[in-house]
Amino acid sequence: MTLRRLPLPDPGTPDLRSPGRFLLWLARMQWRIQTLGVLYGVAWMSAQAAVPAVLGAAVQAAVRNDQRRVGWCVLAVVVLGVVQALAGVMRHRIAVETWITAASRTQQLVARQASDLGADLSRQVATGEVVAVTASDVERIGGAFDVLSRFAGAVVAFIGIAVLLLATSPLLGAVVLGGVPLFALAVGPLLKPLERRESAQRVTLGRATELASDTIAGLRVLRGIGGEELFLDRFRAASQDVRVAAFATARVRSLLDSLQVALPGAFVVTVTWLGARLALDGSITVGQLIAFYGWTAFLVVPLRTITEAAHKWTRARVAAARIIRVLSLRRAVSPDAARPEPAGVGTPVLHDPLTGLDVARGRLTAVVCGDPEVAGRLADRLGGYVAVENGAPAEASALLDGVPTPAIATDVLRSRVLVQDKDPVLLSGTVAELLDVPRSGRVGAAEAVGAAAAHDVLDALRDLDGTHDPLDGRLTERGRTLSGGQRQRLALARSLVADPEVLVLDEPTSAVDAHTEARLARSLKAVREGRTTVVLSSSPLLLEHADTVVLVDPGRAPVVGTHRALLDLDRYRSVVTREEEE
């Protein structure tokens, strides 16, 4: 089954011209399994629709005392029951499969887009919007495909019953065929208002989620300045907006749900009353009357299924519109197939035009910045994470082998340059899974852990979990049970295993004690021998082992030298030793 192949090797290239075209593209991507589900849905619903006809024939045979015909009818009911059960099981299994596959494909598209955009994503669209897309919109997309097989079965069963009714009683057939358009006319006008209110609710929910994310991220700062109540009031107001929008949506939805019950009920009552009148007039037999009763009771199922499908497809269109918005975002400069050609060892591999920094290939370069924010923005530029304002780069981009980073194909750039944040993120799982990243094969896991001085972290996790292999120790979400220094060392081990051509480390030892930092400085240079490494730090222990140290100061030309040579410079000494500049 398809579920065994999830996640998909390639989710494909979606059609983003409209929500309808996007949903149609998803259907085409899984047309085989979807077609099989429709066939099972038709068989399942048709078997149910045939039971009243067989029961009616059995009653009529009993009235005529035709025991043989009664026996055949009983056998037919048993066969129909078996077909209905088997088809129902398979229809449900395939419905779940199509639901999960469509949702998973959509989620992979969003994840791929987030990976391609990098830091551009949060600058172009609110974080809360992305969270809402992955949390609710993806599920609604799956729901549209879940109902498709039942909808097909409902339509076929309804048409079949209408044909039988027309053949038996033209009046009843005409009522059934005429009732559906009236049903659609009553429900149809509610779909557009529901879509608009669903869309408005999604907007307010995204704003509330964004505000909650910002508040949680800045909670420590808010407590420091006493701003908790201010943001709490803002969140209360945003929550009330969500409540009002939800009530507005619920009003239309409740009306739709009530019509979903009332209209089929009225329809059934009308058909039953007409059938009873025809039986009294002698226009139809007792067996046919029994069949009519069964069909009218059964018609509630396909009619409600058709209404449910309309509701879910409306919600799916709203969700698809939000997803298309995210998938349509582009980087500040559209990446092409640019593949920079590497030059020889010692030549500049990276150049930052804002600071004038040149990073030599194959060397360990330490960059000293007096302002941590300047260092953070420099690391982002070197990695190709360029700030975007109004769809254009907010500042100059770094060059990789003479090519602007936004013009380099994302997969090429990410495979060549790796940036490790000063506050790295560790995902939950085992240490082995943490270190299972794309790699060159030059640095093994054990060597990387040793170079990052992280053996004690692995031993602590192993003892905590009672495992034999240190790599089997488990990490909690974001590594919250570890100290800041332990997280930094495990993240460094992960970066060393990846062994990129260019590794940019932003304050990799800011939370590590001096003894461990000294060991890290020695081993980092050894394990990265022949590779390009950029360390943004003002730690003398790291600067001592760098091949080249560059002092970067906004508005001034960079100063290049060794750590000991630059100590004679007052500006450098004031940053590194925290002495006042004379």
Label each residue of 48-76 as H, E or C. HHHHHHHHHHHHHHHHCCCHHHHHHHHHH
Q: Are 380 and 373 in contact (CB under 8 A)?
A: no
pLDDT tens digits along 286-313: 777 777 777 777 777 887 788 788 878 8
Give the pLDDT band of residue 219 (cuts 50, 70, 90): low
Signed CA dihedral, 289, 290, 293, 296: sign only: negative
- CA neighbor of 309 nearest in space, from 496, 447, 145: 145
Question: What confidence category does residue 348 fall into, taking pLDDT thresholds of 50, 70 and 90?
Answer: confident
Please, which residues have CB within 8 angstroms of residue 462's CB and are 6 or more apart in sequence? 468, 469, 470, 472, 473
Element (H, E) at 178: helix 170-217
DSSP letters spanning 373-393: HHHHHHHHHHTT---EETTEE
By percentage, how much of the chain surpasses pLDDT 90? 16
Residue 441: predicted pLDDT: 82
Q: What's the rounded mean pLDDT across residues 322-327?
A: 87
Tens digits of per-residue pLDDT, 519-575?
Answer: 898 899 899 998 999 999 999 999 999 999 999 987 788 999 999 999 888 888 888
Q: Note the helical H segments in 328-454.
A: 372-382, 410-416, 431-434, 445-451
Q: Do 404 and 338 touch, CB atoms closer than 8 A?
A: no
User: Long-range contact list for 117-121, CB < 8 A, 24+ apart?
Assistant: 117/329, 117/331, 118/331, 118/383, 118/384, 118/385, 118/410, 119/380, 119/385, 119/386, 119/387, 120/329, 120/331, 120/332, 120/385, 120/386, 120/388, 121/329
- pLDDT of amino acid 25: 93
Give the pairing of strands 357-360 and 403-404.
Answer: unpaired
How much is the pLDDT for 436? 87
Nearest to 443 by CA among 528, 523, 530: 528
Residue 21 has a pLDDT of: 92
What are the respective helix, strand and coil percentages of the chain, to the nearest 5?
A: 65, 10, 25
484-498 and 514-527 helices cross at what angle (nearest 10)?
Answer: 0
Residue predicted with more confidence, 362 or 286: 362
Flag whether pLDDT at 79 surpasses 60: yes
In the Cβ-directed half-sphere of 370, how many Cα atoms lie within 13 Å? 17
- The pLDDT of residue 351: 92
d(CA 191, CA 503): 53
> Strands 474-475, 429-430: parallel, antiparallel or unpaired by DSSP?
antiparallel
Position 128 scores a pLDDT of 61
The more confident residue out of 118 and 558 is 558
**What's the pLDDT score for residue 515?**
87
pLDDT score, position 532: 93
Confidence (pLDDT) at 116:
75
Report d(CA 571, CA 475) in Å as an integer: 42
The answer to whether residue 55 scores a pLDDT higher than 80 is yes
pLDDT of residue 345: 58
Nearest to 200 by CA among 67, 321, 44: 321
| Coil vs helix vs strand at 325 | helix
Average pLDDT on 212-227 reads 57
pLDDT at res. 339: 58
pLDDT score of 287:
78
Using a pLDDT cut of 70, give the percent of the chain over it.
84
User: 209 or 368: whose pLDDT is higher?
Assistant: 368
Residue 390 has pLDDT above 60, yes or no: no
Mean per-residue pLDDT over the chain, rounded: 81
DSSP state string for 492-508: HHHHHHH--SEEEEEST
**ω into residue 7 within 30 of 0, thus cis?**
yes
Integer CA distances (angstroms), 498 to 127, 358, 420, in order: 28, 23, 11
Flag the least confident range among 127-131, 395-399, 419-423, 440-444: 127-131
Characterise 87 by phi-psi region: left (phi > 0), alpha (psi -120 to 50), beta (else). alpha
For residues 365 and 358, is the Cβ–Cβ distance under 8 A?
no
Mean per-residue pLDDT for 135-142? 82
Instruction: Say which residue the tokens 């992955």 belong to.
Output: 134
Tens digit of each residue's pLDDT (9 = 90 or more) over 471-490: 888 887 777 778 888 888 99
- Give the range among 9-18, 124-133, 337-346, 365-374 with minimum mean pLDDT: 337-346
**Residue found by looking up tokens 């497809």 in the block:** 313
pLDDT of residue 183: 67
Place of tokens 């005409």: 174
* The predicted structure's pLDDT at residue 459: 83
Instruction: Give dist(CA 32, CA 363) in Å, integer.
Output: 54
| 201 has a pLDDT exceeding 90 | no
Mean pLDDT to the nearest integer, 401-415: 83
Average pLDDT over residues 226-230: 62
- pLDDT (mean) for 439-455: 87
The residue ranking higher by pLDDT, 83 or 393, is: 83
- Rounded to an integer, the average pLDDT of 241-266 is 79
pLDDT band at 197 (very low <50, low <70, confident <90, very high): confident
